[in-house]
Amino acid sequence: MPILALGVSYRRAPVEVLERLAFTGDDDPKAYRRLLEPDAVTEGVLLSTCNRVEVYAHVASYHSGFQELKRFLSESREITIEDFAEPLYSHYEVDATEHLFSVAAGIDSVVLGEPQILTQVRQAFARAQAERAVGPMLSALFRGAIRAGRRARAETSISSSPAAFVAAGLDLAERTMGPLRGRPAVVVGAGGMASLAAAELRERGLGPIRVVSRNLDRARSLAASLEAESDGLDRLAQAIAGADLVVSSTGAPQAVIGRRLVEVARRLRGDRPSGVFFLDLAVPRDVEPSVAALPGGGSAAPARPSSRGGRSRQGHRLRGGGPVRGLAPRGPPGSADPGPPRPRGPRARRRGGPLRASPVGLLGSGSRDRRGAGAGRGGEAPARPHRPAQGPVLG
């Protein structure tokens, strides 16, 4: 039985669709029971992050698996198939393996090499194991992808790109606000991107800096490393009231900065002459769009880049000379045969859009992922992808 990956991502799906399809940890027991009900699906892993919702499954065949996974997303998330048919894509057998390795290595991220995705892949696999939803095929696949993701970050320059993305976002804020040095700032979140943002704020001379997170221990740890202050989310309005710049990057499934909260912060702010600028680096949104309409403040976000500085996603090279894509095994999970080299077509060369100012929320400007196929066309499964019998996974 082969492996099928099916889902939507930031490349083609609007934020609203990603939000409606997102799974949380509380959804796992019921979701995995529903996923494994059909005879056509024997193993499964749900990967739900800020930028993608994907189902990896061991299926009886491409067409039956495609229909069952599509139906699963629709019924478990209570969303009609028509609402996500256009951005839906699928990857089958070797292509599914290649796709997961690309995701874990950070090649397929909004921000090339962003730090959270490898942790998210590892956590998704662990949750599927806890639900007894994986067997030998998906276990081998995910363990291999996690190893490749670690090597990509340890042996290539790919992990330098997230910092460049954060810097570009702050450049956007500076163009709107004027000089940032000496301005008080708040960082909402304490994960990888939030940590990069806090370090960049310190480097640019902003201060004082306050880190606010639902996990107060993590907020304190990050703040201590930067000689900053920390608070829990229950103090977010007070923190915003004392800031000129708020940078938010959490993994929350819903917005954490809403209109009411900002209105409270405005009242606490009193007669401070400057407004508050919100830079939202999260997907789903951390900042409600309605915040942009409030007087005395500004909102913006970097657009979604697919690559940085015109460099292709295959351009990050191993210190020993090989590209990131050379980190993966070249056969299906468990295969010892690397197989002959597979030609790479134009679809392997993806380019992204520039940074641009926008209303609150990350807005897509990257090119579409044309490797998968949507589920429109009367709800039928697209034709099974043609590929050589053997070939490199990430070759």
The predicted-structure confidence for 148-186, as pLDDT tens digits, reads as follows 999 988 888 776 666 777 787 888 888 888 899 999 999
Residues 27 and 152 in one domain: yes
Question: In terms of Cα–Cα distance, which of 115, 70, 77 is closest to 372?
Answer: 70
Spot the catalytic one: 5, 50, 53, 239: 50
Q: What is the mean pLDDT of residues 284-312?
A: 60
Domain annotation covers residue 356? no
**195 lies in some domain:** yes
Same domain, 182 and 239: yes
150 and 52 within one domain: yes
> Is the domain of 255 the same as that of 241?
yes
Domain shared by 296 and 319, yes or no: no
Q: Are residues 34 and 146 in the same domain?
A: yes
Q: Evaluate whether residue 29 is within a structural domain.
A: yes
Q: How far apart are CA 316 and CA 327, in angstroms?
A: 12
pLDDT score recorded for residue 326: 55
Report whether 41 contacts 32 (CB < 8 A). no
Note whether residue 307 is domain-resident. no
Of the listed ranges 73-77, 121-125, 195-199, 388-392, the least confidently predicted one is: 388-392
Same domain membership, residue 196 and residue 81 = no
Do 235 and 279 fall within a single domain?
Answer: yes
Overall domain count for the chain: 2
For residue 385, is it within any domain? no
Do residue 25 and residue 104 come from a single domain?
Answer: yes
Could you tell me the CATH number of the domain that includes residue 320? 3.30.460.30
Q: What is the pTM of this model?
A: 0.60
Residues 280-296 have a mean pLDDT of 80
Note the pLDDT of residue 299: 54
Q: What is the CATH number of the domain that holds 220?
A: 3.40.50.720
Q: Are residues 144 and 166 in the same domain?
A: no
**Is residue 26 situated within a structural domain?**
yes
In a domain, 142, yes or no: yes
User: Are 149 and 12 in a shared domain?
Assistant: yes
Please, which pLDDT band fits residue 324 given cuts at 50, 70 and 90? Answer: low
* Helical ranges in the chain per DSSP H: 15-21, 28-35, 62-77, 81-84, 94-105, 116-130, 136-155, 161-177, 192-203, 216-226, 236-241, 259-269
Tokens matching residue 72: 């699963």
Give the pair of three-digit tokens for residue 235.
Answer: 């103090």
Q: Are residues 126 and 248 in the same domain?
A: no
Give the tens place of pLDDT for each residue, 358-385: 223 222 222 333 344 444 433 456 665 5
Average pLDDT of 347-368?
Answer: 29
User: Which helix (H) or strand (E) is 7 found in, with range?
Assistant: strand 3-9
50 is catalytic: yes
Q: What is the structure's pLDDT at 235?
A: 95
- Is 61 a domain residue? yes
Q: Domain limits at 11?
A: 3-156+314-349+365-379
pLDDT band at 352, cuts 50/70/90? very low
Regarding predicted confidence, which is higher, 318 or 208?
Answer: 208
Signed CA dihedral, 123, 49, 95, 30: sign only: positive
pLDDT of residue 307 exceeding 80: no
At residue 5, the pLDDT reads 98
The pLDDT confidence band at residue 212, using thresholds 50, 70 and 90, is very high
pLDDT of residue 319: 34
Mean pLDDT of 15-39: 93
pLDDT, mean of residues 123-139: 97
CB-CB contact of 228 with 190 (8 Å): no
The confidence band for 327, taking pLDDT boundaries of 50, 70 and 90, is low
